[in-house]
Amino acid sequence: MKRFLALSLLTLSGCKQEKPSSSPCPELDTLRATYAAYVERVMRLHCLSCHQGQNPAAGVALDSYTAVRQAAERRRWYEVMANGTMPPSGKLDDCTLAALRKWIEAGYPP
């Protein structure tokens, strides 16, 4: 019993010491923000219906790592999402935007 108590106390104090997260989504701290693990899925869900194939909207293809990286390096890619222009159906949530920003800041890990 004593042992159990000590253990739960430890766990509790461990919790308290955690820094309060300033990010809009707590899972961001542990998210593997790579293209393969994250960015590709966001593109598939929200962008590819218009931005892939022979004649992508605005000439911007977003259907491969190279294509997305090139678009991201030109900065418009993130801008149009952050200002709510893309996708046309409505702005992505803050958590998704923060995760995409994390990917950019990390240097576009594949």
Q: Could you say whether residue 88 binds ligand HEC (CB under 6 A)? A: yes
Cβ 102 to ligand HEC, closest distance in Å? 16
Q: Is 47 exposed, middle or buried (0-12, 13-18, 19+ CB in 10 A)?
A: buried
- Member of 23, 25, 67, 87 binding ligand HEC (CB under 6 A): 87
Question: CB of 88 within 8 A of CB of 81?
Answer: no
Q: Could you say whether residue 81 binds ligand HEC (CB under 6 A)? A: yes
Residues 6+ apart with CB under 8 A from 66: none
Residues recorded for the chain: 110
Number of residues that bind ligand HEC (CB under 6 A): 17
CA distance 60 to 56: 6
Q: Could you say whether residue 90 binds ligand HEC (CB under 6 A)? A: no
Q: How many Cα atoms are found within 13 Å in the side-chain-facing hemisphere of 105? A: 8
Quick one: which segment of 1-9, 20-28, 30-38, 74-82 binds ligand HEC (CB under 6 A)? 74-82
User: Would you tell me which residues interact with ligand HEC (CB under 6 A)?
Assistant: 46-47, 49-51, 57-58, 60, 62, 71, 76-77, 80-81, 86-88
